[in-house]
A and B are shown apart, each in its own frame.
Chain A
Amino acid sequence: MAVFGGRHRESNPSLPPGQYETQSFPVLSAGPTPEIDTAEWEFFIHTETGPSRRWTWDQFRALPAEDITPDIHCVTSWSKFDTPWRGVSLDTLFADVETDLDFVMAHSYGGYTTNLPLEEILDGRAWIAYEYDGDDLEPEHGGPARLLVPHLYFWKSAKWIRGLVMQSEDNPGFWEQYGYHNHGDPWREERYA
């Protein structure tokens, strides 16, 4: 009988259950990488009263930004530690948004969607990121800008983000309709529904 030895023996408290650490940056997308011209880019937030806020690229880039270095965790089992991003906090973007709805559907260029509870993307837990490791975010990693919600599995961090639409219920997005967990907490291994 063959006996599996494995390699990574040191137990790392930063590693959620069932994850392994990678140094590379794998790319997972359901379709082609869209080409997005920042001259035509926009980011919007829609609420129960319709369009609420809208930023052009220049307006968005004029907002106060933060440097953050979270660990990220993909449902396909890789984790990457101390990833260096720069982006705008969702707290900044939601500062003047009035809504009584509790859930958000993130919409991307190319048609991707993913759902999130509003309270999980506020209070310093989510950003719209546009730089990685000091450079403009590469298109295959979601550039010009992506959602970054590092405390959830990385499919929730929608690439090529275009806008957020408030919803009254936690209706499922793209992967959530294909059997992935509606919430996606890596520490509770919420991989599949």
Chain B
Amino acid sequence: MSEATRRWRRGTLVRDRALSASARSVTFAVPDWPGAAAGQHVDVRLTAPDGYQAVRSYSLARAGTDREIELAVERLPDGEVSPFLVDELEPGDEVELRGPLGGWFVWRPGEQRPVQLIAGGSGIVPLVAIARAHAAADSTAPMRLLASVRTPESALYRDELEQLRATAPTRWHYTRVAPPGWTGPVGRLSPRDLEREVIAGSQHPLVYVCGPTGFVEAVARTLIDLGQTADSIRTERFGGT
């Protein structure tokens, strides 16, 4: 990282789209954006009229060197920044952005190993960036996404992921409510679910797990029990304990 990473840049909201009842995709034009790798995040800084500032980190939903960056933000019920980004920010409004940040939870197109992505809730955002980068690079490395969501309505980027099914097929898993006609299990991802849906350890996949702390802890522990190697599992957690 460098001077370019540390600097705050102005981003102007140019596009927005509801992803669910509680999540919104927001795309900012950032004229001097240096580009990002799939899986990286940025800091977003908001400033109130009296000078008070608040900073939070959000995953990028798309990698690349476009002068635009897309974030997907889930409204936290008690949040200070997320309700503003989801409910109030209007096209033309400016925020400040710093990044790209994080160099470990990333996927690069030169990577040849099979890739298993595992998302809990809005943890899907950096994994969408990885699936998009994989398709954009015409990578021949096998890639699969297992996405755990509470209900069909809370699934983010479903249509877009459907379009990537030839290069990175997505398996949805429902923890509370499944869509009509669903015949699979409903509930937390069990060891059996993970054994069935995740690329086997014998194929030496790179595994990316992103979601709430409890989800990531449980999934990572089960994967190791199933024979995946710890140093092939990259994790990103959010929320407290």
Q: Which residues of B contact A32 (CB under 8 A)?
A: 220-221, 223-224, 230, 233, 235
Stretch at the interface among A3-11, A47-55, A116-124, A144-152: A3-11
**Known contacts A33-B220, A191-B6; is-contact A2 B239 (Cβ 8 Å):** no
B155 in contact (CB, < 8 A): no
- Give residues of chain B (112-161) contacting chain A, Cβ–Cβ below 8 Å: none
Q: Which residues of B contact A178 (CB under 8 A)?
A: 1, 102-104
**Known contacts A2-B84, A32-B221; is-contact A193 B230 (Cβ 8 Å):** no
A-B contact count (CB 8 A): 109
Asked whether, in the complex, the Cβ of A6 is within 8 Å of the Cβ of B230, the reply is no
CB distance from B83 to the nearest CB of A (A): 10
| A140-170 Cβ-contact flags toward B at 8 Å (1 or 0) | 1100000000000000000000000000000
Asked whether, in the complex, the Cβ of A110 is within 8 Å of the Cβ of B230, the reply is yes
B80 in contact (CB, < 8 A): yes
A111 in contact (CB, < 8 A): yes
Residue of A with least CB distance to B13: A2
A76–B236 Cα distance when bound, in Å, is 12
Asked whether, in the complex, the Cβ of A140 is within 8 Å of the Cβ of B5, the reply is no
Asked whether, in the complex, the Cβ of B234 is within 8 Å of the Cβ of A4, the reply is no
Q: Which residues of A contact B10 (CB under 8 A)?
A: none
Asked whether, in the complex, the Cβ of A3 is within 8 Å of the Cβ of B56, the reply is no
With an 8 Å Cβ cutoff, the count of chain A residues facing the other chain is 41
B240 in contact (CB, < 8 A): yes
A23–B48 Cα distance when bound, in Å, is 23
Asked whether, in the complex, the Cβ of B241 is within 8 Å of the Cβ of A6, the reply is no
- The listed residue (B43, B90, B235, B237) touching A2 by CB distance below 8 A is B90
B186 in contact (CB, < 8 A): no
- Leading 3 A-B pairs by shortest Cβ distance: A24-B240, A179-B1, A178-B103
| B1-30 Cβ-contact flags toward A at 8 Å (1 or 0) | 110011000000000000000000000000
Asked whether, in the complex, the Cβ of B55 is within 8 Å of the Cβ of A5, the reply is no
Q: Which residues of A contact B105 (CB under 8 A)?
A: 30
B217 in contact (CB, < 8 A): yes
B71 in contact (CB, < 8 A): no
Residue of A with least CB distance to B87: A2
- Give residues of chain B (193-215) contacting chain A, Cβ–Cβ below 8 Å: 213
| B226-238 Cβ-contact flags toward A at 8 Å (1 or 0) | 0000110111011
CB distance from A188 to the nearest CB of B (A): 13
A58–B27 Cα distance when bound, in Å, is 55
Q: Which residues of A contact B32 (CB under 8 A)?
A: none
CB distance from B60 to the nearest CB of A (A): 15
| B34-76 Cβ-contact flags toward A at 8 Å (1 or 0) | 0000000001001111001111110000000000000000000
A13 in contact (CB, < 8 A): no
A1 in contact (CB, < 8 A): yes
A25–B104 Cα distance when bound, in Å, is 22
Asked whether, in the complex, the Cβ of B84 is within 8 Å of the Cβ of A77, the reply is no
Q: Which residues of B contact A175 (CB under 8 A)?
A: 104
**Known contacts A32-B224, A191-B6; is-contact A4 B47 (Cβ 8 Å):** yes
**Known contacts A1-B93, A6-B48; is-contact A30 B104 (Cβ 8 Å):** yes
CB distance from B44 to the nearest CB of A (A): 10
Q: Which residues of B contact A3 (CB under 8 A)?
A: 48-49
Asked whether, in the complex, the Cβ of B213 is within 8 Å of the Cβ of A193, the reply is no
A27–B57 Cα distance when bound, in Å, is 14
Asked whether, in the complex, the Cβ of A2 is within 8 Å of the Cβ of B89, the reply is yes
